[in-house]
Amino acid sequence: VSNGDTRLKYMVGVNRFEHEQVELFTGFNFATTYTVRNTSGFGLLSYDFSDKLTASIEGRQSRDEIGQVGVFAGITTPRAATYNRFSPRVAASYKLTPDVMLYGVVSRGDAPGTFNTNASLSAAAPQYNNVREEQITNYELGVKSTWLEGRLTANLTAYSMDWKDQQLLVAITYPNLAYSPTAPAGSVNAQQNITGQFTSNAGASKVNGVELEVAAKATEHLNLRGTLSYVDAKFKDFCSPQAWI
């Protein structure tokens, strides 16, 4: 981290995260072990061009290693995938007055890819095992202001987001590999097919919005806060997997 008293400021760092989750469904005869390892490095560079104008650029490089071992009806389905991504952010701010600041931001974020953790689906329909990363590119303009000697703040933001490869829940019907014609009626193994909800890269959306946030110190013991939002979100594309496999 740089000295905060200079015009040029910077910060760098690294992060490591590990997680393991085990799901057991004894009544349904399957189990899943899910692991995640994330390693990332990030950096920020900021420069004060004047007492009023500041610009910054940021970036994060991430590597996600994910794995899953599913067991269903005696069938083991191990899977693993690695996702590398770069998430940039560019921002600028300008102080019109000591109490009013304009700002703009352009950023891109990613949700890592994943697996459908249901071992029965993995065994019956492996084409739906992997779920790709989803990506959001965000454009934002706003104003932050303080009034009445700091007793009132009012912030207004307008934004637009492009959302690609959305990870959405969809319904899929697939063969039950544990089906047995001699299984007791009403049991899971007596069902020839199973219908469930699973994650798929089924959509792309455009989201536009405006948000107003106001906070006031009415008295020494009373603070008031209110938010007003308008959101216009539309699917640009929606393609559900085949409903019957």
Q: pLDDT higher for 114 or 137?
A: 137
- Provide CB contacts within 8 A for 21, sequence distance 6+: 33, 34, 35
- Tokens matching residue 240: 């559900």
| Distance separating alpha carbons of residues 104 and 157, to the nearest angstrom | 9
**Stretch 216-237: mean pLDDT:** 92
Q: Stretch 65-84: mean pLDDT, rounded?
A: 78
Give the least confident one: 35-39, 60-64, 99-103, 193-197.
193-197
Token duo for residue 23: 């799901």
Q: Kindly state the average pLDDT of the residues 74-81.
A: 75
Q: Does residue 73 or residue 10 have the better pLDDT?
A: 10
Q: Read off the pLDDT of residues 149-173 as tens digits, 9 standing for 90 and up.
A: 889 999 999 999 999 988 888 777 7
pLDDT over 70 percentage in the chain: 88
What are the pLDDT digits (tens) for 85-126?
A: 899 999 999 999 999 999 999 999 988 888 776 656 666 666
For residue 40, pLDDT beyond 60:
yes
Confidence bin at 61 (pLDDT 50/70/90): very high
Of the candidates 176, 203, 64, the residue with the CA atom closest to the CA atom of residue 118? 176
- Strand 134-147 versus strand 100-111 pairing type: antiparallel
Q: Which has more pLDDT, 28 or 226?
A: 226
Q: Is the pLDDT of residue 245 over 50?
A: no
The C-alpha angle with vertex 208 and arms to 202 and 212, in degrees rounded to 5, equals 135
According to the model, what pLDDT value does residue 5 have?
80
What's the mean per-residue pLDDT of the chain?
Answer: 86
At residue 243, does pLDDT exceed 50? no
pTM of the model: 0.76
pLDDT, average across residues 49-76: 86
Contact 229, 239 (CB under 8 A): no
pLDDT in tens, 11-24: 999 999 999 888 77
